Amino acid sequence: MERIFKITPSFTHAVDIWWAYTWRLLVWGGILNIPVAFVFVFIHGGRHQGLLLLHYFLGSLIYFSVSVVAIRTILRKGFKNYEIWLVARETEGETGNS
C-alpha cells in the first residue's frame, strides 16, 4: 500500500507548479490564439473598434479555456517527488458517516 504524507509547500514546489502552468498556457494559448489574431488582422486591419473588442474577448475566452485545461492537467501530473491532490474537508456538523 502506498503511504501518503502531507508536506509543507516550499518555494521549489511553487516554482515547479507555476512553470507547469505557465508553459502550458503560453504554448497552448499561443497556438490557439495566433490564428485568431491573423484572421482579425486580415479582416479589419486593426481599424474597426468593434471587431477589435471582439478579438480581445475571443482571445480572453481562449486563454481562460486553456487555463482550465492546464490546471486540470497539472492536477493529474506527477511531479518529481510529489503529486497535487485535492482533499475534501469535513464541514461543521458533518460526521463523515453517510
Domain range list for the chain: 15-76
What's the mean pLDDT when you consider all of the chain?
82
- pLDDT at position 48 is 66
pTM above 0.95, yes or no: no
Question: pLDDT of 31-41, one tens digit each?
Answer: 888 887 787 77
Instruction: List helix spans (H) across 1-98.
Output: 11-44, 49-76
pLDDT, mean of residues 61-90: 87
Q: How confident is the model at residue 46 (pLDDT cuts 50, 70, 90)?
A: low
CB 39 within 8 A of CB 81: no
Q: How confident is the model at residue 22 (pLDDT cuts 50, 70, 90)?
A: very high
Beta-bridged to residue 78, according to DSSP, are 83
